[in-house]
Amino acid sequence: MEIIFVLVIASLLIALFFLSLFIWAVKSGQYEDDYSPSVRILFDQQENKKKKSNTKSKISNEARDVLL
């Protein structure tokens, strides 16, 4: 029966520790910008498509030159 009290107290201390970390993260601004990460992914993909299309055209031009 004594171990149950020890475990309950230990779990409450751990829960309070994580709660305090969460409150600190919110106050320090960790969750303020929730829009730009999703938009940033879209811009990265568009830039990669442009780079890939330029690479494909260079490869096709080189292949055409080799065939001629």
63, pLDDT greater than 80: no
pLDDT of residue 33: 74
Q: pLDDT tens digit string along 25-47?
A: 999 988 787 777 667 777 755 55
> How far apart, in Å, do the first and last CA atoms of the chain sit?
88
pLDDT greater at residue 33 or residue 57: 33
Residues 6+ apart with CB under 8 A from 31: 25
In angstroms, the CA 26 to CA 15 distance is 17
- Radius of gyration (C-alpha) of the chain in whole angstroms: 28
pLDDT of residue 53: 57
Place of tokens 């309070």: 16
pLDDT of residue 54: 57
Encoded amino acid at 40, one letter: R
Q: What is the mean pLDDT of the chain?
A: 77
